[in-house]
Amino acid sequence: SITAAIPANTPTGSYYLIARVDADHVVAELNEENNTYSRMVMIE
């Protein structure tokens, strides 16, 4: 779970929130391609 604070003066529009974990590939994994998540959000 992640909480993000959007500044009150952010202009109205579409934005992407992007979260990335293990960007330096420090953790050994079978699949290194699933460490990024993005979601479009609307600020009204």
Q: Which residues contact 6 (CB under 8 A, 6 or more apart)?
A: 43
Number of structural domains found in the chain? 1
Tell me the average pLDDT of the chain: 92
The domain in which residue 34 lies consists of: 13-43
Q: What is the pLDDT of residue 1?
A: 79
Decide if 35 contacts 20 (C-beta within 8 A). yes
Q: What is the pLDDT of residue 2?
A: 78
Q: 20: pLDDT confidence band, cut at 50, 70 and 90? A: very high
Does 32 fall in a domain? yes
Does 20 fall in a domain? yes
Q: 19: pLDDT confidence band, cut at 50, 70 and 90? A: very high
Q: What is the pLDDT of residue 32?
A: 87
Does 1 fall in a domain? no
